[in-house]
Amino acid sequence: MAGLWFEDFDNGMVFDHEWTRTITETDNRWFSLLTMNPQPLHIDAHAAARTEFGRPIVNSLFTLGCMVGMSVHDTTLNTTVANLGMTDVKFPHPLFEGDTIRVRTTVLSKRDSASRPDDGIVTFRHECYNQDDVLCGTCDRAALMRKRPGTG
Question: CA–CA separation, 31 vs 41, rounded Å?
Answer: 13
Record: fold of 6-146? Thiol Ester Dehydrase; Chain A (3.10.129)
CA 54 remoteness from chain centre: 26
- Residue 130: the pLDDT is 98
Please state the pTM of the whole predicted model: 0.93
Question: CA–CA separation, 45 vs 26, rounded Å?
Answer: 12
- CA-based R_g, the chain, Å: 17
pLDDT tens track of the chain, all 152 residues?
Answer: 478 999 999 999 999 999 999 999 999 999 999 999 999 999 999 999 999 999 999 999 999 999 999 999 999 999 999 999 999 999 999 999 999 999 999 999 999 999 999 999 999 999 999 999 999 999 999 999 999 987 75
Close Cβ partners of 87 (under 8 Å, ≥ 6 residues apart): 139, 140, 142
- Residue 116: the pLDDT is 94
Contact status, residue 85 vs residue 142, Cβ threshold 8 Å: yes
- Residue 152: the pLDDT is 55
The domain segmentation of the chain, as residue ranges, is 6-146
